[in-house]
Amino acid sequence: MERPFQKLAFRRALTQNSDMKIGSPCKANKQQARSEAKRAALVEAAIDAFGAQGFEGASLRDIARNSGAGLAAVSYHFGGKAELYLAAADAIAAHLQEMTQPVLENLTDPTGPAPARRVEQALDAVISLVLSDIAPAKWLQFFSRCEMENDESFGRIYGRVMTPLIVALSDVLKQAGPSHDSPGETRTRIGALILLIFSLRSQRNFSTLVLGWRDEPLDLSVVQALVKQVFLPDLYQVRG
């Protein structure tokens, strides 16, 4: 004869087994989502801290506290401060790559407009990206800080984002003609142009004062025209 407690035990065991079979994947997914959210929060807090204070000045304890994740999460996800610093750089590089990929694809598409027009379109897009709020100020602050320190984080962002853009612009500009610049000279012109564009964001007060725009709102269309007229006047000769 089956006793009541045996029925109760059987039901409990059945319920537990059912939870293991059906509920566990859902629970695992929630745990994974929480873990990824903590990791993302740490990276965001790291971008803020390292951008504002540099690698040496930033406190890992403060980063962990501001992220809400805790120091244990830093060790779990990254291992230490240096690894978190590089992860922050990789995150910025990945976001910027995603933003600039369409620009690169249009720039290097041989079935698109003439080379001169593709260069113009690419430069307009880069200027818009850098000077607008599409790219958060804290990304550029982080990039400027690691550029000053000339460390691996700077190399990662520059190598993954800036190098492909500069190389592609230089190559397509050579196709546009009629400039007689050597490949090295063309790259120097593009490099100087990119430097100006970024300085208009990272050193806006100085740049606008030098250009006589101190008391005027920064007009993207004016910047786009000025950059091309000063650095790439041959584009207008080709189109004319």
73-113 confidence digits (pLDDT tens): 999 999 999 999 999 999 999 999 999 999 999 999 999 99
H or E stretch at 169: helix 163-176
Q: Considering 51, 77, 103, which residue would you say is the last residue of a domain?
A: 77
Q: Are residues 94 and 206 in the same domain?
A: yes
In this prediction the pTM is: 0.80
pLDDT digits (tens, 9 = 90+) for 128-145: 888 887 888 899 999 999
Q: Are residues 103 and 198 in the same domain?
A: yes
The enclosing domain of 213 has a CATH number of 1.10.357.10
Angle of helix 163-176 versus helix 183-202 axis, rounded to 10: 130
Q: Are residues 97 and 213 in the same domain?
A: yes
State CA 93 to chain mean position distance: 4
- Domain of 195 in residue numbering reads as 82-239
Token pair of 113 as six digits: 């407009």
Domains held by the chain: number: 2
Furthest-apart CA atoms within the chain: distance in Å: 101
pLDDT digits (tens, 9 = 90+) for 5-51: 444 444 444 344 444 444 566 767 888 888 899 999 999 999 999 99
Q: Of residues 221 and 152, which shows the higher confidence score? A: 152
Nearest alpha-carbon partner for 228 in 114, 80, 84, 126: 126
Please tell me the distance from the alpha carbon of residue 105 to that of residue 115, in angstroms, as a whole number: 13
How many C-beta atoms lie closer than 10 Å to residue 76's C-beta? 14
Q: Are residues 115 and 202 in the same domain?
A: yes
